[in-house]
């Protein structure tokens, strides 16, 4: 799931590539600053699973659901959440048990609520403007 991208389209391609190996119940935590490519990567992943849904950042909606494709994707953004209780009130546990793919932007904000087998991806903006993704924990 790691790689380097110099354009938004290249970041989306990395997401499409990552979709190939996903199974129902996969949880992916995305970590990185604003503009690091998390939502573009998610756009590619959703498209790679065969969904035609329009992917946008769930910063204000907190969670977006993308049906269709080989399995649904539930896209969370923890950025504006103040507490773990707020996340749980959104139905976090039910989403984890739904059989879809759960993506959590700013996953490092509530790492204790992520399952032990969650995939962690760290997004970085390089000095030249490119983006890199590395696997690892928060």
Q: What pTM does this model have?
A: 0.93
Mean pLDDT of 89-102: 96
- Identify which of 36, 31, 29 has the alpha carbon closest to the alpha carbon of residue 11: 36
Average pLDDT over the chain reads: 93
User: How large is the average pLDDT for residues 30-39?
Assistant: 93
Span 99-134, pLDDT tens digits = 999 999 999 999 999 999 999 999 999 998 899 999
Which residue is associated with the tokens 């995939």?
119
Q: Which domains can be identified in the chain, with CATH numbers?
A: 3-135 (3.40.50.300)
Distance CA 79, CA 72 (A): 22
Provide the 10 A C-beta neighbour count for residue 119: 18
pLDDT band at 58 (very low <50, low <70, confident <90, very high): confident
The percent of residues above 90 in pLDDT, for the chain, comes to 80
Does residue 138 surpass a pLDDT of 60?
Answer: no
């Amino acid at each position: 799931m790691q790689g380097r991208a110099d354009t938004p389209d290249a970041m989306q391609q990395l997401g499409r590539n990552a979709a190939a190996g996903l199974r129902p119940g996969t949880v992916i935590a995305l970590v990185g600053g604003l503009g690091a490519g998390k939502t573009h990567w998610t756009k590619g992943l959703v498209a790679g699973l065969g969904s035609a849904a329009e992917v946008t950042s769930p910063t204000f909606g907190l969670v977006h659901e993308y049906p269709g494709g080989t399995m649904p994707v539930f896209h969370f953004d923890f950025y504006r959440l103040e507490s773990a209780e707020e996340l749980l009130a959104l139905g976090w546990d039910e989403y984890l048990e739904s059989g879809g793919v759960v993506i959590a932007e700013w996953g490092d904000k509530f790492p204790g609520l992520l399952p032990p087998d969650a995939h962690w991806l760290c997004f970085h903006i390089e000095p030249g403007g490119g983006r890199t993704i590395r696997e690892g924990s928060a």
